[in-house]
Amino acid sequence: MRIAFTFVFHLLHFWTMRIEVKKNIHFTKLVKVNGRLKEFNFRKLGGPNEGLFTVDVSDDRGNRILFRMQKEQDIWKIIAQNLPSWVMEKETTFHDLIEEELRSM
């Protein structure tokens, strides 16, 4: 009886899965660009892309602009892409918004 119990216990222990919960981080901020407020959506990527944010915003024609930001030496930087100058000019603002959001968690 004791051997059967030990076997079942080890079998259950073997089948026990470790569940790891990671928080899904996403937020929206309004940023003034060329005198107008634009809505920027931020989403933190997990897994092998840990340390990356995707950001999206609409241009004046309603087209979505999508780009990524990566943390380099404690500063969130836009990963080199062909983006409008009004996006690139706000890189420091995006850094501040991301850091503010991460601190508030």
Q: Tell me: the pLDDT tens digits for 18-53?
A: 666 667 899 999 999 999 999 999 999 886 667 899
Structure tokens belonging to residue 103: 């601190």
Give dist(CA 66, CA 68) in Å, integer.
Answer: 7
pTM greater than 0.85 (yes/no): no
Ranges of each domain in the chain = 23-103
Output helix, strand, coil percentages for the chain, rounded to the nearest 5: 30, 35, 30
Please say whether the beta carbons of 72 and 81 come within 8 A. Answer: no
Residue with tokens 């660009």: 33
